[in-house]
């Protein structure tokens, strides 16, 4: 394998890891928001506050445009699900585009 191919494979691997990490941030933010709504966790807890703030800051730039176009169904926000499906599509696209990974 020559150097440009090795660089491309490495770059795709790093993108794949970042996409997987971002998907977990979305999932953690969604689950924590459900736990907060049902009163299982307390927003006054410093760890909960910092984690929720981090997840919101990381995901809101991509979730906000989806929320504007996709209405809530019976009060349930489906934008995290749509974003996760987009990430899964990108992961499959990257895997098929360069199958050496």
pTM, rounded to two decimals:
0.88
State the Rg of the chain over Cα. Answer: 17
Residues of the chain with pLDDT under 50: none
According to DSSP, the residues that pair with 76 across neighbouring strands are 73
pLDDT at 99: 63
Residue 92 CA to its chain's centroid (Å): 15
- Structure-token match 């585009």, residue found: 97
Distances (CA, A) of 95 to 65, 74, 90: 27, 36, 9
């Amino acid at each position: 394998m020559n150097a440009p191919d090795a660089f491309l494979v490495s770059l795709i691997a790093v993108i794949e890891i970042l996409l997987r990490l971002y998907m977990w941030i979305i999932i953690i933010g969604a689950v924590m928001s459900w736990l907060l709504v049902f009163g299982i966790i307390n927003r006054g807890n410093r760890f909960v506050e910092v984690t929720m703030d981090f997840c919101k800051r990381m995901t809101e730039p991509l979730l906000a445009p989806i929320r504007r176009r996709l209405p809530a169904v019976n009060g349930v926000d489906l934008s995290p699900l749509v974003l996760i499906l987009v990430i899964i599509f990108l992961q499959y696209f990257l895997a098929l585009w360069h199958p050496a990974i």
